[in-house]
Amino acid sequence: MALSVRPATLDDAPAIRDLLNAIDVLEIGGPETDLPAVEADLGRPGVDLEADSWLAHENSELVAYGLLWDDSGGERIAMDHYVLPGRPVAAVRLFELMEARAVRRAGANGAARAIVHMHLNSAPTLDTALIDGRGWQRVRRYQVMVREVSGESCPVPVPPPGVTLRDCAAEADRRRAHELWERTFAEHFDHRPRTYEQWLDDLDAGRLDWSLVLIAAVEGLGPVRSIFVDQPAASGAVHRKAEDRPRTGRTWTTPTTRRGAVPGVVGPRRSTGQGLGDAAVLVARDDRESMGWIRNVGVVKEARGRGLGGYLLRHAFSAFAGRGRDTVGLGVDTRNATGALKLYEANGMRPHFAVDTWEVTLPV
């Protein structure tokens, strides 16, 4: 078959979505790639589509797609590689082009090597024998988990004692959510510190409903001060939390004055320095066709073991059920040291599919 490779353009987003959904059907049983997600990838800051994207056609049929980006400013390079089954020539050609580009980008950053990460389904359409010989190896596994939700099964949860919840409609709270994100994920595998602006880009914040980004504060914890400031990003990152007890002596209200408000959230409130400390953050989004999505749940070390993670998780289930969703999903590192996988299982989530992080180290 005649193989041709060219860069992608923004106008190719619908064709790329269709290719990825065809791969979704084969790998996970149904299409789960939305056009806005593809458009966000193609438009991510720092990506030069002419040099960092590839579309492979065989006899005019789009059979493979690649995208590469560099968020580290150093040796860490990330890439996505998708190919239909039975297309080894296209698969290998894209790997050749993408690995060469990764080396050039790392070299331009002054690095002596390129450490390249890629995510693949645990049972991918790609024949992994094609990359075993290129030095790629699996280094991590992530489990995508889902749970069915409804108003009956997911009522608004009772908060743990001393806990208040607010959303991030205000700019100051969005910045606080970023600080908590950095603090709670600082020790996670492949985490790379992000400035506030970089974090917004990562989240595709223009499409984010900030009423689904929640901060939990704990009385008696004291203000949990930020240890991060906006500065150039360092190295490393990945592209692709206990029993609640009834609270007494406080009335919890359901806001009804603004569209999209999350039941059970009171706000805005901030740390006052008088015993109220921001301690946990949840980032969720409602722009996927297939399900509501929880991007992250993080709890600072000082507040773990108080039921905050489970409370935020159940709050998100209830919020999505209230919006008419019937399924909620998230991804979790199966080797997460905080016990996140057990928490999600304890709250009714089940495995949907697994994704492996693959890595190769290339000399510059």
Cα distances (angstroms) measured from residue 195 to each of 71, 228, 236, 299: 11, 9, 14, 19
What local confidence, expressed as pLDDT, does residue 301 receive? 86
Model confidence band, residue 256 (pLDDT cutoffs 50, 70, 90):
very low
pLDDT higher than 60, residue 28: yes
pLDDT of residue 93: 98
First to last CA, the chain: 33
The C-alpha atoms of residue 78 and residue 190 are separated, in whole angstroms, by: 11
179 pLDDT more than 70:
yes
The Cα–Cα gap between 199 and 222 comes to: 26
The rounded distance, in Å, linking the Cα atoms of 256 and 168 is 16
Q: Which pLDDT score, from 0 to 100, does residue 37 have?
A: 92
The set of residues, in sequence order, having a beta carbon less than 8 Å from that of 290 and lying 6+ positions away, is 30, 31, 32, 327, 329
For the segment 22-50, the average pLDDT, to the nearest whole number, is: 95
pLDDT higher than 70, residue 11: yes
Q: Which residue has the higher pLDDT, 334 or 245?
A: 334
pLDDT surpassing 90 at residue 235 = no
292-299 and 327-333 as β-strands: parallel, antiparallel, unpaired? parallel
In the chain, beta strands by DSSP E: 3-6, 53-58, 61-69, 76-83, 113-121, 137-148, 163-167, 213-219, 276-285, 292-299, 327-333, 350-363
Dist. CA 56–CA 64, nearest whole Å: 5
d(CA 205, CA 208): 5
pLDDT for res 184: 87
Residue type, 229: V
What pLDDT band is residue 338 in, cutting at 50, 70 and 90? Answer: confident
C-alpha distances out from residue 321 to 111, 151, 164, 313, 337, Å: 48, 6, 21, 13, 30
pLDDT at 265: 57
pLDDT for residue 239 is more than 90: no
Task: Quickly list DSSP for 5-52.
Answer: EE---GGGHHHHHHHHHHHHHHHHSS----HHHHHHHHT-TT--HHHH
Tokens 């180290």 map to which residue?
Answer: 361
Q: Which residue has the higher pLDDT, 43 or 186?
A: 43
| In the block, residue with structure tokens 């999600």 | 344
By CB atoms closer than 10 A (0-12, 13-18, 19+), residue 71 is buried
* CA–CA dist 176, 312 (Å, integer): 16
Has residue 226 got a pLDDT over 50?
no
Cα 137 to Cα 211: distance, rounded to the nearest angstrom: 40
Q: Once rounded to an integer, what is the mean pLDDT over residues 129-151?
A: 95
Write down the pTM of the prediction.
Answer: 0.78
* pLDDT at residue number 264: 54
166 near 266, Cβ under 8 Å?
yes
Is the per-residue pLDDT at 205 higher than 70? Answer: yes
Give the whole-angstrom CA distance, residue 324 versus residue 310. 21
Q: Say how far apart CA 196 and CA 199 lie, in whole Å.
A: 5
Q: Across the chain, what does the average pLDDT equal?
A: 85
Residue range 206-228: mean pLDDT, rounded: 75
Q: pLDDT at position 270, please? A: 45
Whole-angstrom distance, CA of residue 364 vs CA of residue 86? 31
Contact status, residue 122 vs residue 355, Cβ threshold 8 Å: yes
Average pLDDT over residues 105-126: 97
What does the alpha-carbon distance between residue 134 and residue 129 come to, in Å, rounded to a whole number?
Answer: 9
Average pLDDT over residues 171-185: 94
Q: Which of 48-62, 227-241, 253-267, 309-323 has the lowest mean pLDDT?
A: 227-241
The partner residues of 245 in beta bridges, in order of sequence, read none
